[in-house]
Structures are given as C-alpha cells and as structure tokens.
Chain A
Amino acid sequence: MTSENIAAQRIWTRPPIIPNPNLRWALIIGTIIYLIASFATIDVNWIRVYEGLERGKKFILAFSNPNFVDRWDEISYGMIESIIMAFSSTVVGVIISIPIGLGAARNIAPLPVYLICRGIIALSRALHEIIVAILLVAIFGFGPLAGFITLSFATIGFLSKLLAEDIEDMEKSQAEAIKATGPSWLQWINYGIQPQVMPRLIGLSIYRLDINFRESAILGLVGAGGIGATLNTAFDRYEFDTAAAIIIIIIAIVMALEYSSGLIRARLQ
C-alpha cells in the first residue's frame, strides 16, 4: 500500500440526529438524571406488598377454580349487556365518524370545516371514557345508556382521526382522475376516495368493536352498565371465583374478536 492510498482514506460516521453536541449531551444526561430521580420518588412499602401477596395468591388461585355457576344469571345478563353496548356504540360511532373524518381530512375539506371537525376529534380524545361516563351517569342515571353514549363518543374521536389520516395519505391521482370526469361531490367521494380507504375503515371498525367491548367492562365500575358492574359486585363481595369466571369470559371474547378481525382484515386487501 502506497502512502497516497493511506492519505486517500476518508473517515465517515453517520451524522447525529441532533447536530449540536452541547444540546445532544444535555438531553442525554438530563434524561438519565430525570429517570433516576423519578425512580427515587417511588415509595414502596415492602411490608404492605408482602401482606398483599397473600390476597393476590387467593385471587390467582381462584382462577384455577372459577365459578361460572352460582352467579350465572348475573354474569350472562352483564355479558349480554356489554356485547349490546359495544356493538351498538361501535355502529353509531362509525356512522357519525365517517362525515367527521371526511371533514377532518385537510386535502378534501375547506379550512372552516376542517377546524370544526378537528375540534370535535380533539374534544373526544381529550376526555377519557371514565370521565365521560361519570358525567353521563350523573345525567342519565346508572345503566347501559350512559355507557352506550360514552363509547359512541369515544369511537368518534378514535375513528374520525384515523380515517382522516388515511384520507390524507391516499393517492391523490386516483381522486383527481375521478374529479376530472365531472362527478358530483358525493360521487367523487364514492368512487375516488372510498375504495382507497375502505379496507382500513373496516379494519379500524372491528378493532374499535374490540376496544369498546373491553371498555364496557371498565365502565361498569362507575355505574355505566355492562359486565363491569357484575365484576365490581363480585369484588365487593370477595367472590373471587366469580370474578375469575367473568375475567376468563372477557379474555375469551376479546381473543375471539381479535382472531376474527385478523381474518377479516386479511381478506380485505
């Protein structure tokens, strides 16, 4: 190897994401210090944990002996209520989400419509289901109506946002080609945009059905009906075996939904 060859060697390293070295190191060190400080503030009462282990053990043991029988009437009633709540709120939520999603897509909606629709989405996403449910239980009283409205409202925030993003990512040329044939606005949506976003819309709707079912199990804890109410009662009575049965049924249904949504989405492309 000649000296010219050595001189021709040029060093290359990947450019850092944050070019300013001071800023880069400040961020790295700051993150580490914050992490250590955060862990230091977690106050663990080890004696309490030890005592709690006993109750945890009882609870887990109950799973080996779940009791579907004694409270079957309550369990099946709560379960059916949850399924109805999840299904109806998904359907209503999806129907309302479609126009809001169209309005929230910047590439097809005029600015004022866009801002209003994005506002609705932000409101829906800002308020957690539990908070909405507490409010609605206060208005409509205990029962599944409050849960149904809560889940419909939450579905709007979820689905409109993702639908709008899918519309914004669509292939512009396909929509443009349809527009060039002189269709009405609705025909344009139906031919130029709907085929592009339909698989994702269906996939997201099934996913949301799954989420709504799981949420319906939680909403019962604040009195908004469904299987959650039954579960809550079982815990209050220390009937861990019944609680275990309920949780097993919830897991089974969620898994079934997960499996079927995977099947359906695979066939949609």
Chain B
Amino acid sequence: MLQLDKLTKRYSTGDLALQNVDLEIPNGQIIALIGPSGAGKSTLIRSINRLIEPTSGSAILNGENLTALNSSGLRKARRKMGMIFQEYALVERLSVMENVLSGRLGYVGFWRSFLRKFPQSDIDEAFRLLERVGLDHMADKRADELSGGQRQRVGIARALIQHPELLLVDEPTASLDPKTSRQIMRLICELCDERGLSAIINIHDVALAQMFVPRIIGLKLGEVVFDGLPDEMTPEVLTDIYGEEDWEATIRKIEDDDEEDEELL
C-alpha cells in the first residue's frame, strides 16, 4: 500500500508543482496518472522515490515513511521502487545485460558490481527477465544498438530485477510508435499482474490509459481533480483536466481494433 499524505512540492522558482496530493494505492493496483504537460505528473512520481525532494507532506510505502528517511535509508527504500523512464534512460554505452544488472546495484557490494561479478542468482534472474521481454539473445548488445521498443523492454527488466514493491513509470510510451506503445503498456500491466505489483503510470495518451489501466487519476496544476474508473472519463472530466476541446473522438475509440497485435517485438 502506498499512501500519499498532503504531498507538496514547491520549486525554488516558486512554482507550486504539487499541492496537498492525497492518494492511496492498494497493493497490486495499477493507476494511470494523466494531465497536461506541467501538471506535476513527473514531479509526483519523482517525489515518491525522492529523485525530487518534496517540500512537505509524506509518502508511506508499506508502513515506511519515505519522506523521513536519511540517505542510507533512502538508498534501501529505492531498491523497492522500480522506475521506468520516458526516453528509456538506459546507460547507452553499457550492454543490455549490464543495464539489467544495474537494477541489482543496491544489493551487491562495490567491487562485485565494479568487476561485473554479480551473484549467479542475479544473472539467472536477468536472463529470465530478458527472456520474458523477448530479448535474451541481445544480452551482449550495447544498449544504443537497440530500437525504442527494445530499449524500453530492457528498462522494464532493469526495474523488475530490483524485486520492487512499487513501479514508478514515467511516460513509458511517449517516444514509441502506436503499436509498440500498446505492446509496452500491455507488457507492463501483465508483469504487474503476474507479480502483484502496484504501479503509477504517467501517461499522455488518454485512450491508452483507458485501454489498460483500471484506475485513472487526473492531475491539473499539481492537484488531483479526478480519481475514478476508465468508464467515468467523460468529455466533461477531460475538459476539467485539460481544458476545452472536442473529446468525443479521444475516448475509447481504439477499443475495437485491440486484439490483432499479440506477438512481441
């Protein structure tokens, strides 16, 4: 269970990016976070693992108050939160395998990681995950040789090898084509279901969020303005979140052509 309690972030420029965000996410639930650019979606998920320091309020993950942790406590807590990024954020000059194994850094000592002598159990797990995302034959390729969809799969494997309790997912499909976007969203949601993981997925694409995610949170100017089921997303709700526009075409339009792309890659 992740609980956000009056989480607030004010940047040093004075911009209020998050205002008293209260949110509860039970274990195993996936939520989509939607909202216009600058609404604070990115700030919200980074305030949870404190890549951005929240100004006030608290974030509590399974009973542990993340906002109160000192730096070594934070390091241990970050191991429990896998993160997936918009531009994949793989270390480009490292191999696919090294990128995946970097998810274990919090669990191994410096020399083991420096010499790339990870425990056999980690290597087995890395191969299992790469196989699961369809990339086990790419283990020794350099990350910058991969296509966008492949990179995001490596990013997913890196997050999952942490054995996280929570996934923080920042615009996973923003740089991908529509088909790959769906495959990646489906993969993330499937993996979360398999492992009983809860996840927060920032996403621009409202239709994609409706397709895969059972609960949607709307964020506007740092405040939660919507919290409900995909079916409750009406044009009025979207107007409230994003502003005036013709929303009829956006909602659930791609529902019917959903089934044809089951294969991965």
Residues of A within 8 A of B (CB): 171, 173-174, 176-184, 186-188, 190-192, 195-196, 198-199
Task: Output the nearest chain A residue to B94 by Cβ-Cβ distance.
Answer: A195
**Shortest Cβ distance from B105 into A: residue:** A183
Interface residues of chain A: helix, strand, loop or mixed (majority): helix
**Residues of chain A lying within 8 A (CB to CB) of residue B89:** 173-174, 176-177
Is B87 positioned at the interface, with any CB of A under 8 Å from its CB? Answer: yes
Contact A182 B76 (CB under 8 A): yes
How many A-B pairs with Cβ below 8 Å? 83
Across the two chains, which residue of chain A brings its CB closest to B92?
A174
What are 24 pairs between A and B in contact, CB < 8 Å?
A174-B91, A176-B85, A177-B89, A177-B90, A177-B158, A178-B91, A179-B78, A180-B51, A180-B81, A181-B102, A181-B103, A181-B104, A181-B106, A182-B78, A183-B102, A183-B113, A187-B105, A188-B105, A190-B110, A191-B94, A191-B105, A196-B92, A196-B93, A199-B93
List, in ascending order, chain B residues with CB within 8 A of A199's CB.
93
Q: With A173-B85, A176-B51 as given contacts, are A184 and B114 in contact (CB-CB < 8 Å)? A: no
Closest A residue to B104 using CB positions: A181
Chain B positions within 8 Å of A, measured between CB atoms, are 49, 51, 74-79, 81, 83, 85-87, 89-94, 98, 102-106, 110, 113-114, 155, 158, 162, 168
List chain A residues, Cβ under 8 A from B91. 174, 177-178, 191-192, 195-196
A173 x B83 contact (CB < 8 A): no
- Provide the bound-state CA to CA distance between A103 and B245, in Å: 50
Using Cβ atoms and an 8 Å threshold, which residues of chain B touch A178? 91, 102, 105
B122, chain A: closest CB distance, angstroms = 12
A195 to B95, CA, bound (A): 10
CA A182 – CA B110 in complex, angstroms? 12
CB-based closest 7 A-B pairs: A182-B106, A182-B78, A183-B105, A177-B89, A182-B79, A195-B93, A173-B89
Given contacts A173-B87, A176-B89, A186-B110, contact A181 B94 (CB under 8 A): no
Residue of B whose beta carbon sits closest to that of A177: B89
**Who on chain B is nearest to A191 by CB?**
B102
Closest Cβ of chain B: how far from A238's Cβ, in Å? 55
CB of A174 within 8 A of CB of B90, answer: yes
Check A191/B93 contact, CB under 8 A, given A180-B49, A181-B162, A183-B105: no
CB pair A195 B105 closer than 8 Å: no
Q: How many angstroms between the C-alpha atoms of A181 and B167 in the bound complex?
A: 11
Contacts A177-B85, A177-B90 given; does A191 touch B78 at CB 8 Å: no
Contact B78–A187 (Cβ < 8 Å):
no
Taking CB atoms, residues of chain B closer than 8 Å to A179 are 51, 78
Task: Give A131 to B123 CA distance when docked, in angstroms.
Answer: 55
The answer for the CA separation of A198 and B94 in the assembled complex, in Å, is 11
Q: How far is the CA of A174 from the CA of B83 in the complex (A)?
A: 12
Docked CA distance A196–B104 (Å): 20
Bound-state Cα–Cα, A179 to B93, Å: 17
Question: Closest chain A residue to B106 by CB distance?
Answer: A182
Expressed in whole angstroms, the minimum distance between the Cβ of B88 and any Cβ of chain A is 8
Question: In the complex, are the beta carbons of B78 and A181 less than 8 A apart?
Answer: yes
Given contacts A182-B105, A183-B105, A186-B110, 14 further A-B contacts (CB under 8 A): A173-B86, A174-B90, A174-B91, A176-B51, A177-B83, A180-B49, A182-B74, A182-B77, A183-B113, A190-B114, A191-B94, A191-B113, A196-B91, A196-B92
With A and B bound together, what is the CA distance between A195 and B91 in angstroms? Answer: 7
Kindly list chain A residues whose C-beta atoms are within 8 Å of the C-beta of B77. 182
A182 → chain B closest CB, angstroms: 3
Closest to A199 in B: B93
In the complex, what residue of chain A is closest to B103 when comparing beta carbons?
A: A181
What is the CB-to-nearest-CB distance from A142 to chain B, in angstroms, rounded to a whole number? 42
Residue of B whose beta carbon sits closest to that of A198 = B93
B78 touches A180 (CB 8 A): yes
List A contacts of B90 (CB < 8 A).
Answer: 174, 177
A173 / chain B contacts, CB cutoff of 8 Å:
85-87, 89
